Structure 1
Amino acid sequence: MALTDAAYQSDPGGPLDVDHELYDRIGSMLDSRELVDSFTIPIRSGRAWEIPAGHVCRIVTIEGPQVADLNLWSLHDPRERLWASRTRQLQAAHVSLHDRLWSTLPFLRPLVTITGDSLADYGVDDEGGRVHDLLGTRCDPYVSQMLNDAPFDYHCHSNLTRAVRPWHLTEFDVHDVLNVFQCTGLNEDDQYFMKTCPAQQGDYFEFFAEIDVLAALSTCPGGDLSVPMFGPDAGDAEAVCRPLGIEVHRVPDEALEGWSPPARAAYAQDHGLAARPWA
């Protein structure tokens, strides 16, 4: 094992291995899917929706480039939610086909698996940028007030907060995001940077719900990020903001052959409290 190999590894066929044949089958059987929900999220807004286990959800750039901030929870227990930092360690800082988005402790299981990504071939650009990142988190009005000295109520944190209210959730439930369609990286000073979104009209990002999921998405007020949001060159990005389309599909039963919902983590949650061998 080289010093630069991934720190978190499992044996071949272990819990980090993904059945590519299964998820490619789910992602490819487009003609036999059944559309069960579809809607548009306007600019500088947010919406939450339910995705049953065994369904796929597709996010589409219906009018052109637009970045989005995604949150995920277990529909039946919102204490289980996307764990961005552990997903970075188990998968990658930028995710694509066959990567999974993992949930928080004590659950630790994949919430969704990525089955479609029209930007999968973007790779690494000349400046080190990649798409669909877990490096950064949502823009928020607290940082905005601090850096810009002006209130703004339509940052992604606020959009997500409004979106989840019908499910009796609050801003305390909003968490670190997956930045869909966003191109980011770390510069030579190890600082986070954001580039203009490379997506075009009709690009998509799709994932398969491993359990019943509550999803929420914000159409970022920075739009395609071609206008800086902070600093001396910051400007009004409303002209480069665009809506996003959401589709939820039921997949045919034959696509799910061999699939079963993931179980919660096997650890018994004793944490050494019952037995103290050194006492």
Structure 2
Amino acid sequence: MGSPEPAYRANAGGALEVDRTFYARLTEADRVRVDAFEIPIRSGRAWTVPRGHLCRLLTVDGPQVGDLNVWNAADPRERLWAARTRQLQRAHVSTFDRLWSTLPFLRPLLTITVDTLARYGSDADGGRVHDLLGTRCDPYVNRMLTGEDADHHCHSNLVRAVLPHGLTEFDVHDVLNVFQCTGLNDEDRYFMKASPARPGDFLEFFAEVDLLCALSTCPGGDLSVPLWGPDARDPIDVCHPIGVEVYRPEPGALAGWTPPGRAAYGGMHGLRAAEGSER
């Protein structure tokens, strides 16, 4: 008996179809690197990616989980909508999947163009890589579980990273867990496994709109050491930096591409405009 069909399916030629030929061609086109830096262990950084550019996140010298937030750089009220992306794409994303934005915008913020960890697939426990199932570790849950304060969880790293860009803790949102291997166990509970990334593995994406990105190098490192529970210990020995590179493709590579517009819904949620007023 086959598995059930996904709930969210578009009509032929609809918004969920991706021009794979375009994005595959884009990865082979000439490009110029316009930015590059490393995010040290247990820290965070925010940066911009202009629309029409490529951004690469890579494991520099060993496996390391990163927690990624994404906003529209021109209007940070538009940001990654992890839950809807799980429904429109899947719970673990890879090449040609997109990260979708919140209402009322609802458009792809970025499209994944290369994922060297696609080779991992699904393991014997059902674990997969690059998940939208869970969210960032945070000091509030840590205090609840351990009774101790810790200031360098991913939530806190992201908070510090976005402050120079005029954002606050309230703007930090559910993440894409880059290089993280996760799944649901037989009790339907979230589990994390050691990252299978190797030095030089990378996830690359194309910015569909002007982006502000922020990434935390998780204090759990590659997650091979339990963070909570009776076997927990400081995993600093399995922490590594993550590299970030931004590229501008040669102009001809973008032929035929146009930035996605906002959602086309034109209604008013069942509300009526006052008589004589403009809609």
Indicate yes or no: 2:137 matched with 1:139: yes
* Structure-2 residue corresponding to 1:151: 149
TM (normalized to structure 2)?
0.96
Cα displacement string for residues 71-101 of structure 1 (whole angstroms, at most 9, x for unaligned residues): 0000010000000000000000000000000
* Structure-1 residue corresponding to 2:228: 230
Which one of the candidate residues 234, 258, 261 is aligned to 2:259? 261
Deviation at 1:270, TM superposition (A): 0.6
How many Å separate the matches in 2 of 1:271 and 1:167?
A: 33
Cα displacement string for residues 41-65 of structure 1 (whole angstroms, at most 9, x for unaligned residues): 0000000000000000000101110
Deviates more, 1:114-123 or 1:66-75: 114-123
1:61-76, aligned counterparts within 5 Å?
61-76=59-74
Indicate yes or no: 2:62 matched with 1:24: no
How many Å separate the matches in 2 of 1:132 and 1:165?
A: 26
Deviation at 1:219, TM superposition (A): 0.2
Give aligned-pair identity as a percent.
Answer: 66
User: Matched residue of 1:165: which SS?
Assistant: helix
Q: For structure 1, list consecutive stretches of 5 or more residues without a partner in the other structure.
A: none
Cα displacement string for residues 246-269 of structure 1 (whole angstroms, at most 9, x for unaligned residues): 000001112111110000000124
Deviation at 1:144, TM superposition (A): 0.3
Q: For structure 2, list consecutive stretches of 5 or more residues without a partner in the other structure.
A: 274-279
* Structure-1 residue corresponding to 2:9: 9
1:127-206, aligned counterparts within 5 Å?
127-206=125-204
Deviation at 1:28, TM superposition (A): 2.3
Counterpart AA for 1:16: L
Size of the aligned set, in residue pairs, is 273
How many Å separate the matches in 2 of 1:259 and 1:274?
A: 37
TM (normalized to structure 1)?
0.96
- RMSD (Å) for aligned C-alpha atoms: 1.2
